[in-house]
A and B are shown apart, each in its own frame.
Chain A
């Protein structure tokens, strides 16, 4: 056993306490990536296709993220057997327009999927996303049911809650991963936005993540960073989330948020619910882990 003398022990313990208790000194919360303020676009409008195009244009266009010939995964939230107006799933028009933009940017293939909570067939149909993708009539865009064979166990370096977890290979192997959550109330994680949307590309018993949801989400997001996060806040679910079911819990905001920084996108979305980013544990965990910037004063609104 290596000898630790008392003085060394105390010094280390004090340093650790200082780091943990004083947020200003929390070096982990000041990630290297944040040297440059991340851009974040917020737009409002009731014509959803135009809204998506305007928001992406503000970030410099889809071409900044999708290079010609690349394989793109667009990951909407299709978790629930709910119709569009109930705001439980990403709006089909948002999803379709993003897929169109990917095609226009020259994507070789655009793949969409979600590991749903209700029956996947019902969710894909009821959400309106199946019909929206069908209407594109493009062989390069596919809405797929998840293949139970295609999960891979990944060791999570620096994982705090999860040492390893199963991830969906097509998501890991994509050239570009575009995260398209809908912003919703959620009892255990307070909100479900971009970071939580990654629950749809992992395998295993996801319910187990609930015992430490914030660190678990930081863990899985560290394995699979989103190249672009587009938060659908055309309508948001403010209560009885994440699946809702009552129109009185839905607020129409006609808003879209987009950023290459998932933490910034989630942090901005939190304000739509009257919350401060630091009130949402997964956002704090994400910022600490260096996944992005949660301080809205340090982002660049474009």
Chain B
């Protein structure tokens, strides 16, 4: 039998692509060079949904970054949804995990497959209105942020613990061997610092939810929900790569039961739904199935969306946009909303960010963390700088390098050092020299601007009736860039006595208009 070789080829492609993405992912880490040669953001340059989000966002379309995604669309128009079956890392993960977990065999009505198109239309309409949520459902973003925020940190934790145990028990041969292996492992296959994120569990639950859909039906996500699948499906509608026989054969009908995407039905082969897994070339008992390039033909079944459904989806999306945008300005309600350096103005940032988590993965100081509701209801998984946990390293430009959509602009070192992401403010009720009358100045010591943005004045302070000469710190607004190292290093337990607020950030649009009825 010659047919299954296509299945093997497809599986090999999935494994190679998945490993390739994982390799890129592990490369997305500072390893002694300031410019990352292979950031995993490359993955998104292939992502037509990211390209769609970019096209719908304000500002010019990023041709230079996103032309590979357009190439994918072009290839899809010729070959169909090869991306879903052969390339997509989430699809490969679902195929692999589905095999491990066991798959459900429930038959869902064919109408379910329309859901993904309606979702795509609703999200596009919302994006056109300035509320971009495509990233929440983008399979590549789901894959990468689950990896970045949950799976990779958990892997690091596990490996570190294993080495810890070996270190602690001190076995004669094994411990020295482990100790000599550890630096190499850490330098090549691990994060240098254990990644720590507040939303790890939540992110994992969402990922598990997508995986557990396999228990309902094989590739449930891809068939019914994935908006990228829908976009590719629209392109693949008249794909030139066509299957023969076009419909179920009268003597067999096996395709009806076995096709994982439900693409082969009595009314024909739906190229919009076919994931090109090529399994049918193998399981056909008569070896009848072949895929060939042919000119487009009339009469092939379409996507058969309901007009009412399409209108409803568009209306929902169009309505969501203004409702979300009437929220009060974030900079007023949350002064601790600090974005990475190079982030564009907040409104455009929310439109451009695809929530892939790459900036958080690569952040050398562990400063960037996914937002839950801190950035408003549509800011979920967007990066926030949480300076008590980590700070923005003065000489580092990595987040702008890995951002696939230009939500964080790529900055050269000099402009980055001058980009203000916020400003430090003292809490004198807690700061040691002010509140307790003892010396400290840890913040001043760490302040990285060449001419320090934290300085001190020597003053006589009366503490418990005794006059002491103390060095009292203060912030020089003109010099502070809000990197947050002062907040990270403040030696107080719990909250820092110096905190970065978003005031004065470079990216803010200052229109001069009053922000509310009272200015």
Judge if A117 is at the interface, Cβ distance under 8 Å. yes
Residues of B within 8 A of A122 (CB): 30, 364, 393, 395-396
Per a CB cutoff under 8 Å, which of B30, B183, B456 touches A187?
A: B456
Partner of B441, one of A144, A210, A244, A245: A210
Set A242, A245, A249: member contacting B445, Cβ < 8 A: A242
Is the C-beta of A222 less than 8 angstroms from some C-beta in chain B?
no
Q: Which of B186, B451, B471, B491 contacts A240 (CB 8 A)?
A: B451
A150 closest partner in B (C-beta): B167
Within A116-141, the residues touching B (CB, 8 Å) are 117-122, 125-126, 130
- Using A121-B30, A149-B164, A211-B438 as known contacts, say yes or no to A188 and B471 having CB atoms under 8 A apart: yes
25 residue pairs bridging A and B, Cβ less than 8 Å apart: A81-B395, A118-B394, A119-B192, A119-B364, A119-B393, A121-B192, A122-B30, A122-B396, A126-B395, A187-B441, A187-B471, A188-B440, A188-B444, A188-B445, A188-B471, A206-B491, A207-B489, A210-B441, A240-B450, A240-B451, A243-B445, A243-B446, A245-B448, A246-B450, A249-B450
Nearest-CB distance from B177 to chain A (Å)? 16
Q: Residue B450 contacts which of A117, A208, A244 (CB distance < 8 angstroms)? A: A244
**Contacts A188-B439, A210-B440, A246-B451 supplied; 17 other A-B pairs, CB < 8 Å:** A81-B395, A117-B445, A119-B192, A121-B30, A145-B192, A149-B164, A187-B441, A187-B471, A188-B441, A188-B445, A207-B442, A207-B489, A210-B445, A240-B451, A243-B446, A245-B451, A246-B450
B residues less than 8 Å from A81 (CB atoms)? 393-395, 448
B444 vs chain A, min Cβ distance (A) = 5
Could you say which residues of chain A place their CB within 8 Å of the CB of B255? none
Report yes or no: A210 in contact with B439, Cβ–Cβ below 8 A.
yes
B454 to chain A, nearest CB (A): 10
Which residues of chain B have C-beta atoms less than 8 A from A186's C-beta? 445
Give A125's nearest chain B residue, CB to CB.
Answer: B32
A141 to chain B, nearest CB (A): 15
In the complex the two chains form, what is the Cα distance from A25 to B192 in whole Å? 53
- Report the minimum CB–CB distance from A35 to chain B (whole Å): 35
Please tell me if the beta carbons of A245 and B30 are within 8 angstroms of each other in the complex: no
Cβ–Cβ < 8 Å partners of A245 in chain B: 448-451
Look across to chain A and name the residue whose beta carbon is closest to the beta carbon of B450.
Answer: A245
Bound Cα distance A199, B113 (Å): 63
> B182 — nearest CB in chain A belongs to which residue?
A147
Per-residue interface assignment for chain B, residues 174 to 191, with 1 indicating a CB less than 8 Å from any chain A CB and 0 otherwise: 000000000100100000
Q: Which 10 A-B pairs have the closest CB atoms?
A: A207-B491, A245-B450, A246-B450, A207-B442, A188-B441, A211-B438, A208-B491, A210-B440, A149-B167, A125-B32
Measured CB to CB, the closest approach of chain A to B367, in angstroms, equals 11
Which of B164, B395, B449 has the most chain A CB within a 10 Å cutoff? B395
8 A Cβ contacts from B392-411 to A? 393-396
Give CA–CA (A210, B39) in the complex, Å.
Answer: 40
**Which residues of B are found within 8 Å of A125, using beta-carbon distances?**
32
The answer to the question of A21 belonging to the interface, with a C-beta cut-off of 8 Å to chain B, is: no
How many angstroms between the C-alpha atoms of A213 and B365 in the bound complex? 26
- Known contacts A122-B396, A240-B451: A211-B30 contact under CB 8 Å: no
**Given A119-B393, A188-B440, do A207 and B490 touch, yes or no (CB 8 Å)?**
yes
Encoded as 1 (CB less than 8 Å from any B CB) or 0, chain A from 94 to 136 comes to 0000000000000000000000011111100110001000000
A205 within 8 A of B: yes
Chain A residues, CB < 8 A from B445: 117, 186-188, 210, 242-243
B-facing residues in A199-234 (Cβ within 8 Å): 205-208, 210-213
Q: Is B325 an interface residue (CB 8 A)?
A: no
CB distance from B438 to the nearest CB of A (A): 4
Contacting pair A243 B448 (CB below 8 A): yes
How far is A97 from B489 in the complex, measured between Cα atoms in Å?
Answer: 33
B432 interface residue (CB < 8 Å to A): yes
CB of B452 within 8 A of CB of A119, answer no
Residue B99 interfacial (CB < 8 Å)? no
- Across-interface contacts of A117 in B (CB, < 8 A): 445-446, 489
Kindly list chain B residues whose C-beta atoms are within 8 Å of the C-beta of A144: 183
Closest to B31 in A: A121
CB distance from B412 to the nearest CB of A (A): 16
- Cβ contact of B440, chosen from A205, A211, A240, cutoff 8 A: A211
